[in-house]
Structure 1
C-alpha cells in the first residue's frame, strides 16, 4: 500500500526532471519554430543581403516580414535602414501584413575588426526577454547581456548571430554588448523583444 501512495510523487518528480529548463546565464539555441525576435533579426539580415544584390523581390519579402512584427528602432540606434528599404520596394510588395501595435525594437550597426558596441535597455520584471542578433554576410559576432552590477546574464559566442532569453527578476536596465570576432568589418542587426 505504501508503494501505491508514493507512485504519484515519483511520477511527478520524473516529469519535472524531463521538463527542466536551461540554466540561467547561458545562450539558448533557437527552437524549431524560431521566436519573433529571431525571425525579425534574420529578416533584417536578409533585407541587407537583398539590397546588396539588388534583388527587389527578396527585399520586398524581407520588408513584409519586418513590417508584420511592427518593430520600432531602439533608443539611440545610430542608423535605421528600414525607411530606405521601404522606399526601395514601394510597388514591389503585396498588401501589407498586419502585426502587433507594440512589436519588438531593433538596432543595426557596423563594427570594425575587434570592435564592440554596448547600450542599455530596460526589461520588465516577470516578462520574458529575448535578444536576437544576426549578420547579413555571416560575420562572426558575439552577444553578451549584463545586469546592472555587470554580472553576465547571457553570453552567445556562436558566430553569425546570437540568441539570449531570460526572465528578469527586477525591472531594470541591462547592458547589451555586440562584439565583432571576425577578420573584417561586420554589419549586424539586433532585435529586442
Structure 2
C-alpha cells in the first residue's frame, strides 16, 4: 500500500524549489568570480567573455594590482580564442577591484579616499572556496564604521561619508589555511 501512495504523494508535492543563486549580487564581484572560475577550468572562451564584461562594467584595478581584463584577454588569445560574441562599450570611470590572498591569520589594510556626500561601498567575495575571512572599515579617527564576516557569496559595507577623508579597509583571515578574495571599492 505504501508503494502505491508514495508516487502519488511525490506528484502532489510539485517540483522542487529552485536552488538559491549562489552568485554575488554585485556585478563586478560576480564577473571577477566567473573569470576566476573560467581560468581555473581552462575555459578560455568564457574567460574572454568575462574580460570583456569586466571592461564594460568600467572596473579598473586598484593601484599596484594586475589588470585582470587585460590578463584574461591575453590568456584567451594565447590559447587560440580570437573573438567573443559580446559587444560592450565601457565607461570612463567605474569601480576599482583588487584580488588578494592572505596567509593563515593574515590581514591586509587598504587606505581609500571617499568623497563627502557620495555613497561609498565596499564589497568582498571569497574566491575559490575561501572561508574565515572578515572585513572592517575604519574612519580616519579609528572608529569602526562597519565590521562583517565574509560569509556566503558577498559581504558589503555601505555608508555616506560626511567629510572627504581616507578610510582603512581591513581584510582578515581568521582561518588556519590561506584564503583568496576579491575586493570592489565603489
Q: What pairs with 1:88-107 in structure 2 (closer than 5 Å)?
A: 88-90=75-77, 91-107=82-98
Higher alpha-carbon deviation: 133-142 or 114-123: 133-142
Task: Assess, with a 3 A threshold, how the Cα gap between structure 1 residues 96 and 179 changes in structure 2: closer, same or farther.
Answer: farther
Shift of 1:177: 0.8
Output the CA distance in 1 between the equivalents of 2:127 and 2:37.
6
1:140-165 residue CA offsets vs partner (Å, 9 max, x unmatched)? 22111100011111112142532111
Check 1:178–1:110 CA distance in 2 against 1; reply closer, same or farther (3 A cut).
Answer: same
> How many residue pairs align between the two structures?
157
- What secondary structure, in the 3-state scheme, does the structure 2 residue paired with 1:139 have? coil
Q: Report deviation, 1:58.
A: 2.7
Shift of 1:92: 4.3
What do you get for the CA RMSD once the two structures are aligned?
A: 1.9
Q: Deviations over 1:99-124 (max 9, x none)?
A: 32101111111111111000100000
Residue correspondence of structure 1 range 9-20 to structure 2 within 5 A: none
* d(CA) in 2 for partners of 1:100, 1:81: 17
Can you give the 5+ residue segments of structure 1 that lack an aligned partner in the other structure?
1-32
Does the Cα contact within 8 Å between 1:70 and 1:102 map onto a contact in 2? yes
TM-score (norm 1): 0.74
Distance 1:107 1:138 in 2: 17
| Unmatched tracts of structure 2, length 5 or more | 1-23
- 1:184 aligns to what? 177
